[in-house]
């Protein structure tokens, strides 16, 4: 099973040659954001209409997509030229994409406007149930989106929103989202798209400052007694027993030095603030979608997919079935004299494959896992995905690091995380899970240097075996 990544390119040549020939594609650009040196953007931006011909073509129909790829571009505000933005100019901490009706996305945008997209306590009208649900499982995945949708939209309109990404970041250019065989990502009657951009302007900042680790600058007022940063309560700390026992510095405000909780919207991560005349970069997200025409023969056998709630290496499960996750953790530097091959930080977590939603989903529903890749930060050396009941290694994910200067090959940055892909031969057959099956994540980081606010998450795509014609909510 572990050789599935190596077979990805082979599978696309052998299995998908005919199907790929029938695929269509279109590209969209988000509304721009404007950032100065060292500035953070961490908000959803205004919904934007999809191309008119796409909207018309799929009105009252389901779009079946094979991939959704992101690029980030810098826009010359004089000529309008758009060029790929290297990670040392614009760093993608993480992003998410939503597709759906314009009115629903606009209502969702207004609900999230001005609030930390990952902090349930910052949203208006959050019930205790919704806050709890928002914190269950990976806070950057489906359960998080479901909690927001439950509060923002009336029942009956939530199913129209399809969400993509959430735990995908700097590796975006070099990580394929394409599904094999007849598996597809689906969205009904798409009209518009809305993007969450957690981007950092790293333009002109020495890489030694590691802005991508979101350092808490000397300007930040951390009050341990009141549990606040600059007078505001950050996302609650919810570390696993392993991280607590090792006294990981990312588990307490008293020892916190950098990470997501110091990476809020509008914050500057440099010690020196730019002046009023400092240059401003115009940045846009560029998405390219591969899809089948509504009457394509592949649509007749297409099988929709969904994203399970699993997995976050900082998470776990308790006896009462409640999930928790800290989302991030720190890598302590290994002791002087440690042999290089042993200078590694390793954590492990066990979680349910998926947590049933509050809408009565069957906990025994069975799925087949068809696509998986890991999300790690700089110094990440790999993730492992294990089926706990059998001890079977399902996927081993190794980040690819850049060696040059061009966008997509930035020296020292994670520029891709090749996925594991399952499907028809010569790929391995998809492994099967029920929602409450236990999955183990093992996360490895190089510990030759200290690192703050790292993440180790899986992005999983699965297809339900309940019905061959199921078009479930899609999250990649």
- CA dist 241 and 288 (Å) reads 41
pLDDT at 135: 42
| Contacts of residue 320, Cβ cutoff 8 Å, sequence gap at least 6 | none
- CA dist 291 and 238 (Å) reads 39
- CA dist 271 and 38 (Å) reads 9
Q: Show the 3-state SS of 18-81.
A: HHHHCCEEEEEECCCEEEECCEEEEEECCCEECCHHHHHHCCCCEEEEEEEEEEEEEECCCCCC
pLDDT at 158: 78
Q: Where are the alpha helices (DSSP H) in 232-351?
A: 241-245, 297-301
Q: Where are the alpha helices (DSSP H) in 113-226?
A: 128-135, 142-152
pLDDT at 214: 98
The structure tokens listed for 114 are 């001005």
pLDDT at 320: 40
Determine phi and psi for 442, rounding to 5 degrees.
Answer: -120, 125
Degrees to nearest 5, angle at CA 28 with 371 and 175: 25
Contact 200, 40 (CB under 8 A): yes
pLDDT at 15: 32
Q: Where are the alpha helices (DSSP H) in 153-291?
A: 241-245
Alpha-carbon radius of gyration of the chain: 21
Contact 352, 436 (CB under 8 A): yes
Average pLDDT over the chain reads 87
Contact 86, 406 (CB under 8 A): yes
- CA dist 373 and 456 (Å) reads 11
pLDDT at 363: 77
DSSP 393-461: EEEEE--EEB-BSSTT-BBTSEEE-PPEE--STTSPPPPEEETT-EEEEEEEEE-SS-EEEE-EEEEEE
Spans of the chain below 70 pLDDT: 1-21, 120-144, 317-323, 356-360, 467-476
The structure tokens listed for 457 are 């998450």
* Preceding amide of 189 cis, omega within 30: no
What single DSSP character describes residue 124?
T
Specify the pairing of strand 344-352 against strand 280-291: unpaired
- CA dist 468 and 131 (Å) reads 34
The H or E element that residue 110 is part of is helix 102-112
pLDDT at 245: 94
pTM above 0.85, yes or no: yes
Q: Name the CA dihedral angle for 77, 82, 87, 92, rounded to a multiple of 10 degrees.
A: 90
Alpha carbon of 396 to those of 27, 412, 429, 436, 442: distances in Å?
31, 21, 16, 22, 9
């Amino acid at each position: 099973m572990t050789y599935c990544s190596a077979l990805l390119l082979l599978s696309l040549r052998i299995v998908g040659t005919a199907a790929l020939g029938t695929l269509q594609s279109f590209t969209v650009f988000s509304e721009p954001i404007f950032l100065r040196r060292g500035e953070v953007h961490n908000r959803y931006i205004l919904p934007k209409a999809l191309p008119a011909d796409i909207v018309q073509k799929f009105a009252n129909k389901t779009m079946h997509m094979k991939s959704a790829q992101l690029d980030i571009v810098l826009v010359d505000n004089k000529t309008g030229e758009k060029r790929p933005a290297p990670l040392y100019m614009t760093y993608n901490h993480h992003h998410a994409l939503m597709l759906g009706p314009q009115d629903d996305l606009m209502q969702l945008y207004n609900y999230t406007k001005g609030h930390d997209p990952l902090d349930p306590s910052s949203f208006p009208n959050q019930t205790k149930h919704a806050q709890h649900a928002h914190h269950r499982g990976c806070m950057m995945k489906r359960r998080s989106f479901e909690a927001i949708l439950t509060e923002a939209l009336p029942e009956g309109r939530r199913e129209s929103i399809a969400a993509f990404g959430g735990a995908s970041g700097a590796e975006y250019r070099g990580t394929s989202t394409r599904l094999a065989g007849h598996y597809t990502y689906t969205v009904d009657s798409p009209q518009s798209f809305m993007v969450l951009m957690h981007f950092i302007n790293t333009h002109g900042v020495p890489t030694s400052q590691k802005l991508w680790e979101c350092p808490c600058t000397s300007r930040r007022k951390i009050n341990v007694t009141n549990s606040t940063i600059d007078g505001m309560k950050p996302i609650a700390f919810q570390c696993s027993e392993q991280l607590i026992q090792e006294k990981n510095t990312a588990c307490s405000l008293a020892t916190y030095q950098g990470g997501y909780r110091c990476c809020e919207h509008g914050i500057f991560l440099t010690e020196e603030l730019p002046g009023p005349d400092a240059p401003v970069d115009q940045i846009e997200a560029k998405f390219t979608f591969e899809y089948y025409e509504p009457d394509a023969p592949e649509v007749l056998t297409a099988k929709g997919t969904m994203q399970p709630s699993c997995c976050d290496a900082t998470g776990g499960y308790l006896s009462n079935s409640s999930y928790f996750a800290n989302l991030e953790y720190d890598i302590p530097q290994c002791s002087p004299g440690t042999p290089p091959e042993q200078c590694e930080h390793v954590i492990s977590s066990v979680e349910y494959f998926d947590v049933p939603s509050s809408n009565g989903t069957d906990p025994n529903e069975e799925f087949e896992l068809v696509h998986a890749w890991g999300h790690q930060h700089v110094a990440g050396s790999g993730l492992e995905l294990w089926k706990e009941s059998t001890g079977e290694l399902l996927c081993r994910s190794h980040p690819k690091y850049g060696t040059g200067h061009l966008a997509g090959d930035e020296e020292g940055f994670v520029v891709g995380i090749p996925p594991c892909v399952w499907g028809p031969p010569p790929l391995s057959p998809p492994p099967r899970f029920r929602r409450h099956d236990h999955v183990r994540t093992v996360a490895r980081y190089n510990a030759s240097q200290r690192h703050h606010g790292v993440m180790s998450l899986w992005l999983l795509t699965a297809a339900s075996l309940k019905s061959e014609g199921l078009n479930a909510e899609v999250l990649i």
